[in-house]
Amino acid sequence: MHPNILVFDSGLGGLTVLREVVKVRPDARYVYVGDDAFFPYGQRSEEAVIGRVVPLIGELIAAHAPDLVVIACNTASTMTLAPLRARYGVPFVGTVPAIKPACAASKTKRVSVLGTSGTVRLEYTRALIRDFAGGCDVNLVGSVHLAALAEAALGGADVPDEAIRAEIAPCFVAGDGGRTDSIVLACTHYPLLLDRLVRLAPWPVDWIDPAPAIARRVATLLGPGSGHGDDPRVQMVFTSGRPHRIAATISPYFGGHISA
């Protein structure tokens, strides 16, 4: 049996999650939904995101009958997972800042969380720090532009290094004999820029991407699958209704077939 998996994001960032999920369930059928008509989520209020996402997910469940829904967006997950699970019977897998593993692995006990302004201002994120920091000094950094820069870069736009460097600079803190050694990527758009983040960093750090952990959770809920089967099939849907030219160019990113 080939499960149907719906992967939802505000734009293209969830592709980083989709790539990892495809690795563990290459036999699945995927619908990737980018809510580009409402992008970016990180600059909107919690009420606005809930009011947008909860009914939209209901429409997508009715249209595509998924066996599981991945909310591949930190902002949407931290704001909407509770009401989504309360309203719909489909299993949901969310994306939340990977603060616990970052703090557990940090040697200097200096960790930064790089997310959208919406994600870092939430009490949910601060509760994760209280529960899992484990004595680490956790620096919350709300980026205004980095998600949009990642979308632009993936779409082929020329994004200057200086624009990216300015967004990540507050993550790097040094003093009292130690400096930041781990940065949590608390937005699924950011790993799209990972090569450039590594190159532009003032010193080496561990960049913590939650996507592999999300994929493992999907495999736990659905099972590991029965062999590889056919190449994974990915249908891409954008709420703006505009054909997205990226669909024709990213098939090698997954080793599968993508259609808009």
Residues noted as catalytic: 73, 187
| Strand pairing class (68-71; 110-116) | unpaired
Q: What's the Cα-to-Cα distance from 170 to each of 9, 93, 132, 143, rounded to whole Å?
A: 26, 30, 22, 9
What CA–CA distance (Å, rounded) separates 50 from 168? 28
First to last CA, the chain: 24
- 3-class DSSP state for residue 1? coil
Instruction: Looking at 122-241, list the stretches that DSSP marks H as alpha helix, in order from N- to C-terminal side.
Output: 123-132, 146-154, 161-168, 194-200, 211-222
Q: What's the Cα-to-Cα distance from 196 to each of 10, 207, 210, rounded to whole Å?
A: 22, 12, 18
Number of residues that this document lists for the chain:
260
Burial (CB count within 10 angstroms: exposed 0-12, middle 13-18, buried 19+), residue 184: buried
What CA–CA distance (Å, rounded) separates 142 from 188? 14
